[in-house]
Amino acid sequence: MSYQSLEEIVKAAKTGGVTFWETILMEDMKNRQVGSRESVAQMRTMYRVMKEADASYERRKRSSSLLVGGDGGRIERARQKGMLLSGDFIAQVMEKAVKMAESNACMKRIVAAPTAGSCGVLPAVLLTYEKQFSERENRMIEAMYVAAGIGEVIAARASISGAEGGCQAEIGSASAMAAGALVYLRGGDDKTICHAVAIALKNLLGLACDPVAGLVEVPCVKRNVVGAVNAVTSCDMAMAGVKSVIPADEVIDAMRQIGRAMPESVRETAEGGLAATATGIRIKKEIQQKHQEELEKIESAANPS
């Protein structure tokens, strides 16, 4: 049985005299009946796959709809030329978030964290942090446990699925996970982790899941940047001593309630929001037409008359 609230995790850590991440590790060992070595090795694999995915970004690649691809390379060049207003840390977070989300859209290998659509958020902040602060990999793995524990509570209390809770459940959850992981890396205590989670999630409450033509491309790729940057600022706020008035667990409950109140048209059905704009509808029609033509081509090749 996994934790149902962040408060429970904080309490269990305090009672056991262990850290937040160790509490999650111990829970995984119990849950799956594995040793700590096996659990940590698996988490390390996840982190390394994220690293590989970031390193193998191809800026010339386009998704099969041709809607996304190449923006990670554009941001990288602009950053290297010093054109960006954001400082170097945020600029790299932005670049990595777009790269990972584009790689996902282009059928490359990623780690769903918590979902494929939001796969850029967590690696964007963690990989940037490791590089800029020359952090040890083991500490990064520990931060992954913090993120996983936060995600698990969100999944238990609310949802991590866009079809159920809208984009707030995907990008919002990923952002909250990343914010908590960053606070851990900055040396914040467990309560500060919870404040960062609450702040990050609050900022993204109500976000609709309205992908154009139903594809994990527009607006999903760029939303990964919002989730990642929001994680950094939420961490900074919490570390500065800013507290969330509403406790994290209650914010998660609010997300659940908002998700339920959202019309189905903005929960991954591609019937509302951006998907229902004039341009969104035109793109959908073009893609369907292209699909139909290709099917006919396959059919005529299979049955020459």
Please give the residue ranges that form the binding site for other proteins (CB under 8 A).
2, 24, 27-28, 31-32, 41-43, 45-46, 49, 63-65, 103-117, 119, 122, 144-145, 147-149, 151-152, 155-156, 160-161, 163, 177, 213-217, 270, 287-288, 290-291, 294-295, 298-299, 302
Cβ proximity to other proteins: between 80 and 300 the closer is 300
Smallest gap from Cβ 284 to other proteins, in A, equals 9
CB neighbour list of residue 48: distance below 8 Å, 6 or more residues apart: none
Cβ proximity to other proteins: between 147 and 185 the closer is 147
Which residue type does 243 have?
A: K
Smallest gap from Cβ 82 to other proteins, in A, equals 32
Cβ proximity to other proteins: between 212 and 235 the closer is 212
Tokens 């035109």 sit on residue: 282
Helix (H, G, I), strand (E, B) or coil at 267: strand
Cis peptide before 219 (omega within 30 of 0): yes
Cβ proximity to other proteins: between 177 and 226 the closer is 177
Helix (H, G, I), strand (E, B) or coil at 209: strand
Smallest gap from Cβ 149 to other proteins, in A, equals 7
Of 198, 177, 168, 86, the closest CA to residue 125 belongs to: 177
Whole-angstrom distance, CA of residue 260 vs CA of residue 169 = 11
Report how far Cα 154 is from the mean position of its chain's Cα atoms: 13
Smallest gap from Cβ 45 to other proteins, in A, equals 4
Smallest gap from Cβ 68 to other proteins, in A, equals 9
